[in-house]
Amino acid sequence: MNTQRKPDWLKVKLSKGQSLSYTKNIIAQFSLNTVCDEANCPNKIECFGKKTATFMILGSNCTRNCRFCNVTCGRPETVDAGEPENVAKAVATLGLKYVVVTSVTRDDLDDGGSEHFAQVIGKIKEVSPQTSVEVLIPDFKGNVEALKTVGDAAPAVISHNVETVPRLYNEVCPQSDYRTSLEVIKNIKLLYPSIMSKTGIMVGLGETKEDMIQVFRDLREVGCEILTIGQYLAPSKEHHAVIEYIHPDVFEEYKNIAYEMGFTFVKSGPLVRSSYHADEALKS
């Protein structure tokens, strides 16, 4: 276990202003969840301050208990039929031109919640037709029909995180499968060539440079286009320990390697998260 103090490059600058409380109030007004809050994202203050957030649908309780994640594992809530409209209203109220929607994993639902994702995408497009929608989806247990339900709603980007290198899956996310995640990313491009495919991976969990490069290769083989790489930060002592704080120079090296392999957009840095400055990928 890494008992070192966090290095300077992981210190988050605090920001103030009316937008921070405004964003929080809008989220509360429409009774929505955000992964920013539930996952205790280090960039929450910055993003809320810029009047943006990553909406988390299908409740706040996850059916999986990954050892890296701060989202609560518990009995899943009843799906809120009004949530798609409320998300769309919040997006419009905040004036978002780009929005990321994710969810807890809902293994209890036959379709994994894919129809609900589609409804959210549809409502956002109806209310804010100029807004680009990115969805960060679970693996749906590899269910291709569930993926089609989401893809048919035509988001601009479909993201699914591989999270870590395959060697560490049993330790970090034992209820998930690396090969299943690769198949999800592969099927995004096979079924929907015009939709951008994206994934994210954490570092500092005990992976090696060779592990990372192999994951990059695997991702490019299945057509993944957008990649995010960020430092893992343990939410508590009960979660998987931080094995190493990765230096910013290594993040830069990983970014360069990934670009050389053909990724179209790479965001790599200690505080990078899947949804951080997500709109930049479509601007590049």
Write down the domain spans for the chain: 12-283
What CATH fold (topology level) applies to the domain 12-283? TIM Barrel (3.20.20)
DSSP-derived pairing of the beta strands 61-62 and 72-73: parallel
Tell me how far apart the alpha carbons of residues 170 and 167 are, in angstroms, rounded to a whole number: 8
> What's the burial of 259, exposed, middle or buried (CB within 10 Å: 0-12/13-18/19+)?
middle
Residues in CB range of 133: below 8 A, 6 or more apart: 99, 101, 121, 124, 125, 155, 156, 157
Task: Report pLDDT for 23.
Answer: 81
Token pair recorded at residue 18 = 């009316």
pLDDT block averages, 10 residues each, the chain of length 284: 72 62 85 69 62 83 76 86 96 92 92 97 97 95 97 97 92 88 96 97 95 98 97 85 94 98 96 84 78
The kind and range of the H/E element at 119 are: helix 114-127
- Amino acid present at 249: D
Task: Report pLDDT for 15.
Answer: 57
Task: Report pLDDT for 280.
Answer: 86
Beta bridge partners of 197: 158
